[in-house]
Amino acid sequence: MAAAAAQQHRHPKRRRLFLSLSPSPSPTPTPVAPPLDTLADELLFLVLDRVAQADPRALKSFALASRACHAAESRHRRVVRPLRPDLLPAALARYPCATRLDLSLCARVPDAALASAVSSCSALRAVDLSRSRGFGAAGVAALAALCPGLADLDLSNGVDLGDAAAAEVGRARGLRRLSLARWKPLTDMGLGCVAVVCTELRELSLKWCLGVSDLGIQLLALKCRKLTSLNLSYTMITKDSFPAIMKLPNLQELTLVGCIGIDDVALDSLDKECSKSLQVLDMSLCQNITDVGVSSIVKSVPNLLELDLSYCCPVTPSMVRSFQKIPKLQTLKLEGCKFMAYALKAIGISCVSLRELSLSKCSGVMDTELSLAVSRLKNLLKLDITCCRNITDVSLAAITSSCTSLISLRMESCSRVSSGALQLIGKHCSHLEELDLTDSDLDDEGLKALARCSKLSSLKIGICLKISDEGLTHIGRSCPKLCDIDLYRCGGLSNDGIIQIAQGCPMLECINLSYCTEITDRSLISLSKCAKLNTLEIRGCPMITSTGLSEIAMGCRLLSKLDIKKCFEINDVGMLYLSQFSHSLRQINLSYCSVTDIGLLSLSSISGLQNMTIVHLAGITPNGLMATLMVCGCLTKVKVHEAFKSKMPAHMIKNVEARGCVFQWIDKPFKVEVEPCDVWKQQSQDVLVR
């Protein structure tokens, strides 16, 4: 996908280049056929696959090498992800073998563009329009009519689409995957059209389809017998159609997030073991369910593997004991639930095969019960105890001693766990791949212990004020697979630690150095060696200048998200480098920087830029801003200070909005000073206590 994106965003230029070059070979005919012609397509494609795997940009270079290469690359590509809808016909014409059309970068796809695009490419099997607007029933009709093989259609977020469009969807008989999420005008009629015709459907999402009622869902359950995955979140499903859904013979995954119509009566109305195929059941945010209802549905779904009851109901011992009827249960998510006495203990007794347990933001999680529970859950691989503020070293000792095979441990804001106990994590759980210790008492000793976790790929140790370069050095030396590190507000860090990370973790993709006020350009220069880096957050690092940024721009060509808010020293030079090298950039936050119109305008040459935050930039004028916005054709969201609203011509704003861009007018006070991390932490804890 990333490859396709990288490929595509240079598309216009490439075409120009190609056109200018194409006349030249014709007057000078080459007598010898290029060696690539003799290669079979299959072999060539294997080569291309390898090349693309090594460097996503290599395919482009390959295509530009010769006509034959260009043609071979055209035949090779299966996924097309155009940046702009107006390029759609040309893109699809070039890639006749493309089976997947991803329009998620095109904010606005008019009916005509959609129709003309798909008319040239009838091999499409998957189309993603989930992030696009501007098309209606006619566009969907063209899609369904011209792509007979269409099997996967994502029309999520079609907030304006209704029954008419659904009826057109209903012509694509071969659909196996369909998402109609957030089709708020959709009613039973439209759903009926889809249900009757698309009987091959395997996966269907009707999330947020508020107009759909029991009638439509019942019809769906009657006609689409092959459904394996169904998302009915936030719909008005009630007990009238719930049994029909549960009786679908192949249903494996059912999502019922926020279904207020599902209550204990509905859950109790099911026959015993009525859905033997169901494996995943998500009933989070179903407010009208109590522990009684959960106990009663459990007997209907004997083969359940995953159960999500987040924000659903208080957890009682009797409810947990009923989980014995689903012995295969592997994943239990109880986020935000209130635990009654002995309930957590019962989890250890009833759910022995549990692999994943989430107790995040639960109240009533106490040391004794958690210790007892985890001592029995030997198979646990993932544990989430985020914001369980009552647990102490006792729990952590039990967790680390009994769940030694943990690969994921999230314990953000478990502030009562001491630094000494945190060392146990590294000592015992050496298989950890994901660790979240944000806002904890972690110190360098703990980090040193974590050095044993050589598989660590994601480490979040933000707001750990005690750590220093020394601890980070251990990580950098022994965690080569690290790709995501969060060092938000680690005030004790300086360049040396970052340099160690940058040198030791070549796979690094995402780093957050926000408010690490000590770091300078040296850190960025070292990070520029991490070629895979795509997300860099250096908000509030006042010592960073354009020099460091330019190194990043040149070194990290895949950079797509950049946050340089309150990096006051960064100016137009940095922007010029970015515009020159960071063509993958999608999102940038420039607030409080010293960038002027010039830098901003240069940014506009990054054709894929979608998201810009431009607040409190002294050097920006309304004209410069307007010019930038007009040039950036792919913008979907722009945050600008409210003052600009009146200064920019309204029709220009409308023009930009018509292309699919959403303006967010920010009205925050200008605030330059950055408080030290410890002060900030104290303040935030004060807020929490209050």
Binding site for another protein (CB under 8 A): 136-138, 141, 145, 162-164, 167-168, 170-171, 188-190, 192-193, 196-197, 215-216, 218-219, 222-223
What is the closest distance, in whole angstroms, from the C-beta atom of residue 192 to another protein in the complex?
Answer: 4
Nearer to another protein, 218 or 607 (CB): 218
Residue 145 CB, nearest approach to another protein (Å) = 6
Length of the chain equals 690
Q: Which is nearer to another protein, 167 or 516 (CB)?
A: 167
Ordered alpha helix ranges (H), 540-658: 546-555, 572-581, 597-603, 622-631, 643-647, 650-658
Residue 653 CB coordination number (10 Å): 18
* Six token digits for residue 74: 């055209």
Spatial CA neighbour of 72 closest among 37, 103, 100: 37
Between 198 and 362, CB nearer to another protein: 198
Instruction: Using alpha carbons, list the distances in angstroms from residue 122 to 93, 127, 144.
Output: 10, 12, 10
Our CB check for another protein shows the closer of 156 and 187 to be 187
Cβ proximity to another protein: between 63 and 219 the closer is 219
Q: For another protein, which is the closer residue by CB, 241 or 275?
A: 241
Q: Which is nearer to another protein, 213 or 517 (CB)?
A: 213
Q: Which amino acid is at 125?
A: R
Structure tokens at 414: 């478990």
In the complex, the smallest distance separating the C-beta of residue 171 from another protein, rounded to whole angstroms, is: 7
Shortest CB 197 distance to another protein, Å: 6
Strand partners, 639: 613, 664
> Residue 193 or residue 498: which is nearer to another protein going by CB?
193
CA distance 166 to 174: 15
CB of 414 to another protein, least distance (A): 52
Nearest approach, Cβ of residue 167 and another protein (Å): 4
Q: Which two tokens stand for residue 30?
A: 């080459």
Asked if 161 and 132 touch (Cβ cutoff 8 Å), the reply is no
Give 142 or 267: the residue with its C-beta nearer to another protein. 142
Element (H, E) at 319: helix 317-322
- Note the Cα 467 to chain centre separation in Å: 29
Q: Minimal CA–CA distance to 339: which of 353, 319, 325, 322?
A: 319
Phi then psi dihedrals of residue 331, to 5 deg: -125, 125
Min. distance of Cβ 355 from another protein in angstroms? 40
* Beta carbon of residue 189, minimum distance to another protein (angstroms, whole number): 5
* Minimal distance, residue 142 CB to another protein, in Å: 9
Rounded alpha-carbon distances, angstroms, from residue 526 to 230, 501, 515: 47, 9, 18
Q: How far is the CB of 177 from another protein (least distance, A)?
A: 20
Q: How far is the CB of 169 from another protein (least distance, A)?
A: 12
Three-class SS state of 241: coil
List all residues 6 or more positions away from 645 whose beta carbon is below 8 Å from its beta carbon: 653, 663, 665
Q: What are the DSSP calls for 207-232, one per residue?
A: TT-TT--HHHHHHHHHH-TT--EEE-
Q: How far is the CB of 170 from another protein (least distance, A)?
A: 7
Cβ-based nearer residue to another protein, 220 or 374: 220
Question: How far apart, in whole angstroms, are the C-alpha atoms of residue 350 and residue 377?
Answer: 10
Using the minimum distance from each CB to another protein, give the nearer residue, 160 or 203.
160
Q: Give the integer Cα–Cα distance in Å for 288 and 663.
A: 37
Q: Which is nearer to another protein, 187 or 430 (CB)?
A: 187
Q: What secondary structure letter does DSSP report for 41? A: H
Question: In 3D, which of 577, 651, 662, 568 has the Cα closest to residue 616?
Answer: 568
Burial class (CB in 10 A: 0-12, 13-18, 19+), 190: buried
Residue 163 or 434: which CB sits closer to another protein?
A: 163
Q: Which is nearer to another protein, 186 or 334 (CB)?
A: 186
Rounded to the nearest whole angstrom, what is the least distance from the CB of residue 116 to another protein in the complex?
A: 15
CA dihedral defined by 265, 270, 276, 282, rounded to 10 degrees? Answer: -20
CB 374 within 8 A of CB 344: no
Q: How far is the CB of 108 from another protein (least distance, A)?
A: 19
Give the containing element (helix H, strand E) for 447: helix 444-450
Question: Using CA atoms, how far apart are residues 83 and 603, in angstroms rounded to an integer?
Answer: 16
Per-residue burial over 604-641, b = 16 or more CB atoms within 10 Å of its CB, e = otherwise: bebbbbbbbbbbbbeebebebbbbbbebbbbbbebbbb
